[in-house]
Structure 1
Amino acid sequence: MLAYLIRRSRGLMLAATLASVAAGLCSVLLIAQINAALTSDAENRAGIAWLFAAVAVALMLSRMSSAVLFERLGQHALAELRRFISRRVAAADYRHLERVGSARVQSALSEHSTNVAQFFVSLPVILTNTVVVVGCLCYLALLSWQIFLMAIAVIGLGSIGYHLAHLRAIRLLDQASSEQDRLFGHFRALTDGAKELRLNRPKRGAFIGEVLEASIDGVRRLRTRGMSLFVVSTSWGQFLIYAFIGLVLFVLVGGGPDQTRVMTGFALVFVFMVTPLEALLMNIPRANLARVSATRIGELTADMPGMEGTAEGTAPTRLERLVLKGVTHGYYHEQSDDVFELGPIDLTFEPGEIVFLVGGNGSGKTTLAKLLVGLYPPEGGEIWLNGERIEAHNRDAYRQLFSVVFSDFHLFERLLEAPRADLDEEGNRLLAKLHLQHKVRVENGAFSTQALSQGQRKRLALVVAYLEDRPFLVFDEWAADQEPLFKEVFYREVLPELKRMGKAVLVISHDDRYFPLADRLVRLESGKLLAAEAVAGAEVV
C-alpha cells in the first residue's frame, strides 16, 4: 500500500526527499562550522562566519521546503487512499462486502488512512534526522576513527535494546488495530441501536460498560503499552549517548595537539545528535503504526474478489423477457443452524405485470430478490435477459435494469439516481401523491430533510425508485411500516400506475388482503417454490 502511494506521487516524493536530505546535510555542516569556530584563531573567523550564515540560510530554506512538500504529500496520500478504498468497496462483490462488514471499511477510511497519511507528514523528520545522524557519525570518524568505533559499539548496544522493544511494540500495535476495527462496530451500534438502548436500562449499562468502554480501554491499553515500549527504549538510547560523552571527555581522549578539537567535536556532535536521534526514534513508531494500518488496508482491499466490469452509459437496459433457469444459492441459516439451500428457482418476468412473492420468515424471499437483481451471482443455474445470459462481465449492466427498495434501504443526500431538468417538479408531485409535501420538498435535486419516521423515509425511497424510471421495480416489504392509508395508496394506486407504465414489478409482501391485485402469486417456503391455494384474481405459481 505504501509502495502504491509512492508510485502515485513520484515527483512530489522525490522533491520532498531531496529537500529533507539537503536539510540534514546543512545541519551537519552547521555543527561542523560551529566546532571549527570554537577551535579556530581570529584570522579565520570571518570566513567561517560567512560560511556559517550561508549554511544557516540554506538549512532554513531546505527545512521549510521539506515540511511544505511533505504536508502536501500527506494530504495527497490521504485523498488517494480514501479514493482507492472507496472505489474498491464500490466495485466489490456485494456478497463478500456483507461478510467484510461496514466496521472494517469505516476503520480503513478513517483511522488507518489517517495513520498512513501522517507517516508521510513525518517522513521529513525521519529523513532529515537520518541524514543528520549519519553525517554526524561520518564527521566523528574524521576526528578520530578509534573513538568512532567505540561510538558505533554504543549505538549498536542501544539498537539491540530498541529492536527487542520494537518487535514487542509492533505486536501490541497490531492487536490494537484489530480491536479498533471492533470498536468502530460498537460506535455504529451506539446510534443504530439507540432506541433499544433507551428502552432497556440493563442492556444500555451492559453495552456501555462491558462492551463499548471495554473496547475503548482495550485500544487505549494496547496502544499505550506499545508506544510506552518505544519511549522506554528511546530513553535507554539517550542514556547510552550521555554515558559515551562522559567516556570521551574523561577517559578515552588522551593528550595530544588535537585533544581539544577532538573532545570538543565529539561532545558537541553527540549533544547535537541527541535531539535528531530522539526525533528519529520517536517517529519510527509512527512509521510502524502506518505500516500496520497500510497492511490492514491492503488486507481489506485485496480481500475483495469478484471485481466486475462497470456498465457503460447510464440508460436503463430494456426489458423484454427475464428468465431464471434452475437458479440456486446456499448460505448459513441461523434458524436451522445449517446451510440453507435456495432453489432451484424457475421464474419468468415480463413487462407490465405485477408479481407478489410471499412466504414465511426465513423462506429466502430477500435472498431471491438479491439474486434476481444481480447483487448475488447464482451458484447454480442461469439468468437470461432478452435472450442473453447474464455472467460476470455483463452483470453490472444487468443491474441497471432494476430499482429496488429493500427493507434496509439507504437514502443518499442527493437524488443522484435521476438527474434531469424536471427532477424537482416531478419529485414534488410524487411527494404530494404520498402526502409528504408538508414535511419535505425536492430542492435542487435533493430532499430538503430526511429527519422523518421510518415509514415516511420509505415513502421517500419509493419516490427515488419512481424517479429512476427503471423497467423493473422490486419492493421488499415496503408496506410493512406504513399506515393503512398509505398501504391503500401503494397497492391500489402506485402498483396499478406502474403496471400502466409497462413496468415489471416484484412485491415481497405479507399483506394477504391485497394478493388478488397481483397478476401472479409466487409462494416460497424453505427455499423452494411451492404450489399454493388458488387466490381470486391472481395466477398462483
Structure 2
Amino acid sequence: MQIPLQFDLFQFLKRESPNELKRLFWLAIFVGLLNTALVGLVNIVAKKVEVNDDVTLHFFVFALILIIFLLITKRANKESITSTQDLLYKFRLRILKDVFTSTLTRVDSVGRGYILEVLIKDIQVVSQAMSAVVNLLQSLATLVFLNLYMATVSFTAFIIIFSSSLAIIFIGSKELFKVTNQMGVLALREHAVTALYADFLNGYKEVKMNSRRAYDLTLNIMTDSRVVNELKSGFLIAITNFFNYLQVLLYVVVGVMIFVVPILASGFADQVTTAATTALFLAGSLTGIITSVPSLSTANVSARALFELSNKLETSTEQTPKPKESFDDIKSLSMLNVSFSHESGQNVKHFFFGPVTYTFDINKVYFIRGNNGSGKTTLMRLLLGLYEPMTGQILVNDRPIQQPSKGEFRDLFGVVFSDFYLFKKLYGIHSSTEEEIDHLLEVFQMKEKVSVIDGSFSDVNLSTGQRKRLALIVALLENRQFIILDEWAADQDPEFRQEFYEHIIPRLREMGKTVIAITHDDHYYHLADHVLFMENGKLISTT
C-alpha cells in the first residue's frame, strides 16, 4: 500500500518547515488522546445511567474536556494553517528568485508554462490538502488510542477491531488509489480539450474565415469533450460506489462487535455497549483516514512537481561569490572569442554560434543583418548576459566581466525584444518627470492615444507597432547607455519607420546612447556607423 504522506508531500513539509511538521504531529497526539478520553467518559456515564448513579461530576468533566478540545484545537489549527500558508508563500518567492537568478536557457528548457502551472496550480493543491493532512494525522492518532482503549475493554475485541482496521485501510486505500489513478488520465484529456478551446479562441479569426477548419476543429472539441465527460462520469460513479462499500464495511465491523465477539469471548456481553460505542468512533476515524487519501494522493503529485521545479531552477552555490562590479565612464563593450551552442533534441542538428570577436564603441549606431536563423538574436542575448558563453568573454573597457548574468551588468542596457512584453505599469521607473514622459510620447506620436496616469499607461491594447513604441519609450526612460533593439521597426508603418531611422536614432546618438539594432531594412543601412553581417552563427563581415 502506498500512503502518499510518506513520500513527496511529507518530505516537502519536512524540508520547508520541520517545526510545522512537529506541531502537526503533537497536535494529532493531543486530539487523539482527547477523543479517546471523551469516548471513555461516555462509556462510563452510560453505565452509571443504567444503574441510576449521579453523573453531575462527569458532566462537568465532559464539558471541561470539550472546552479544552475546542480552545486548543482552534488555536493550533489556526497556527498550523497560517504557518503552512506562510511556508508556501516563501516557497513561491524562492522559486521566483530562482527564476530571476537563473539563465534564460535554463528557464526555456524548464518551460515557462510549466513554471506558471506549478506556481499557481500545484501550490494551490498542496495548500488545499493541508486540512486533509491534519485530518489524517488526527484520525490516525485517534485510531491508535481507541484501539488501545479497546484492549482494556476486551482483548478479543481489540484483536478483531485492530485487524479489521488494518484490513479496511489496506483494501480501501488500494482500491481508492486505483480510482484516483484515473485522475491522471482524466487530467491529460482535460488538458487536451483545454488546448483545443485555446486554439478555437486564439485562432478565432482564422476559424471564422474557413468553414472546413471550423468544422474539423469543432468536431475534435465535441469528440474529445465527450470522452472527457464519459471518463469523469465513470470516475465519479466509482468514487460514489467506493464510499458506499466503505460505509458497509464499517458497519460490518460494528456488527462483528455485537454479534460475533460475544460468541468468541466469554463474559463479553456486559461490554457490548462499550465496545459498540468505541467501534462507532473507530469507524469515524477510519472514514477520516480513507477519505483523506484522494486529496493527499493529488497533493503528493503536486509536491513532487514542487520538488522537481525547485531542483531544476536551483542555482549553483559552489562558486565563490564575487564582488559587485561598477561600470563608470564606459568606452566600449566587447565580445572576445565568444561561442555558444543551443541545446536540441536527439537527432536534431545543434546550432553553433561563434567564435565571435567584436567591439562596440559608445555613442555609435550599429545595425546587425542576416538571414533568419543566422545568429543575430543569439549574439544579442550573449551580449546582454541572458546566455552564458561556452567559451570566450564579454568585456567592458577591455576588462573581462566576471558575472555578465548579474544585474549590475544588465543595468547597462535598455532592450526591446522581438517577442517583447509590455507592462502596463512602469515598474522600476521613479525618477522620470511628467515632462520627460510627455515629450517621449510626442516624439513617438503616441500622445493622442496614450497617457501615463499614476505610473501606468492608460491603455496597452494597441497594435503591435504602437506597443513597440511604448516599449522603446520605457527603455529610454530607464536611461541606459546601450539601446538594444531586435527588429523593432518591422511592425511600424512606412512613415514612422522613416522617422525612426532618420530622426529618432540620430537623436539617440546625440544623447550619447549606443544603439545596436537587428534590422532587415537595408534602405537605411547607410545611416548606421557600422553594419554587421551574420551567417550560420558567424560574424562574416562588418562595414
- TM-score > 0.5, shorter chain as reference: yes
* C-alpha distance in structure 1 between counterparts of 2:218 and 2:194, whole Å: 14
Q: Out of 302, 310, 317, which is 1:301 matched to? A: 310
1:98 has 2:138 as partner: no
Check whether the contact 1:450–1:457 (CA below 8 A) recurs between aligned residues.
Answer: yes
Greater mean alpha carbon deviation, residues 9-18 or residues 68-77 = 9-18
Greater mean alpha carbon deviation, residues 18-27 or residues 130-139 = 18-27
Query: AA paired with 1:413?
Result: K
1:243 has 2:248 as partner: no
* C-alpha distance in structure 1 between counterparts of 2:31 and 2:254, whole Å: 25
Unmatched runs of 5 consecutive residues or more in structure 2: 1-7
Identity over aligned pairs, percent: 27
- 2:400 aligns with 389
SS at match of 1:491: helix
Query: AA paired with 1:286?
Result: S
**C-alpha spacing 1:97/1:224, structure 2 compared with 1 (3 Å):** farther
- 1:464 aligns with 474
Greater mean alpha carbon deviation, residues 341-350 or residues 20-29 = 20-29
- 2:62 aligns with 52
1:437 has 2:469 as partner: no
- 1:376 aligns with 387
Q: Deviations over 1:61-81 (max 9, x none)?
A: 234224433332343244223
Q: Deviations over 1:226-264 (max 9, x none)?
A: 787676555544433322222221222159996454211
Q: Out of 168, 175, 194, which is 1:158 matched to? A: 168
Check whether the contact 1:173–1:292 (CA below 8 A) recurs between aligned residues.
Answer: no
Query: AA paired with 2:373?
Result: G
Query: AA paired with 1:389?
Result: P
- 1:350 aligns with 361
* C-alpha distance in structure 1 between counterparts of 2:163 and 2:539, whole Å: 78
**C-alpha spacing 1:203/1:528, structure 2 compared with 1 (3 Å):** farther
Q: Out of 368, 371, 388, which is 1:360 matched to? A: 371
- 1:508 aligns with 518
Aligned-pair CA distance for 1:130: 1.9
* C-alpha distance in structure 1 between counterparts of 2:315 and 2:259, whole Å: 69
Q: Out of 268, 271, 289, which is 2:280 matched to? A: 271
**C-alpha spacing 1:103/1:28, structure 2 compared with 1 (3 Å):** same
TM-score (norm. length: structure 1): 0.86
Check whether the contact 2:388–2:405 (CA below 8 A) recurs between aligned residues.
Answer: no
SS at match of 2:330: coil
SS at match of 1:357: strand
- 2:456 aligns with 446
1:416 has 2:427 as partner: yes
Check whether the contact 2:339–2:352 (CA below 8 A) recurs between aligned residues.
Answer: yes
1:121 has 2:131 as partner: yes
SS at match of 2:313: coil
Check whether the contact 2:342–2:350 (CA below 8 A) recurs between aligned residues.
Answer: yes
Higher relative contact order, chain-length normalized (CA < 8 Å, sep 6+): 2
* C-alpha distance in structure 2 between counterparts of 1:448 and 1:206, whole Å: 40
* C-alpha distance in structure 2 between counterparts of 1:223 and 1:84, whole Å: 36
Check whether the contact 1:440–1:447 (CA below 8 A) recurs between aligned residues.
Answer: yes
1:28 has 2:36 as partner: yes
* C-alpha distance in structure 2 between counterparts of 1:28 and 1:383, whole Å: 70
**C-alpha spacing 1:20/1:445, structure 2 compared with 1 (3 Å):** same
Matches within 5 A, 1:210-359: 210=220, 214=224, 235-254=244-263, 259-304=268-313, 319-331=330-342, 338-359=349-370
* C-alpha distance in structure 2 between counterparts of 1:524 and 1:12, whole Å: 57
Q: Deviations over 1:196-221 (max 9, x none)?
A: 55555554565565479849966x88
Query: AA paired with 2:338?
Result: V
Check whether the contact 1:112–1:293 (CA below 8 A) recurs between aligned residues.
Answer: yes
Q: Out of 410, 428, 440, which is 1:399 matched to? A: 410
SS at match of 1:513: helix
Aligned-pair CA distance for 1:189: 5.8
How well do the aligned residues superpose, as a CA RMSD in angstroms? 3.5
Unmatched runs of 5 consecutive residues or more in structure 1: 532-539
Check whether the contact 1:12–1:69 (CA below 8 A) recurs between aligned residues.
Answer: no
Query: AA paired with 2:121?
Result: E
Q: Deviations over 1:21-62 (max 9, x none)?
A: 433322221121111111123334222222112122222223
Q: Out of 46, 53, 56, which is 1:38 matched to? A: 46
Q: Out of 135, 139, 150, which is 1:140 matched to? A: 150
Query: AA paired with 2:301?
Result: V
* C-alpha distance in structure 1 between counterparts of 2:209 and 2:539, whole Å: 40
Query: AA paired with 1:324?
Result: M
- 2:71 aligns with 61
SS at match of 2:367: strand
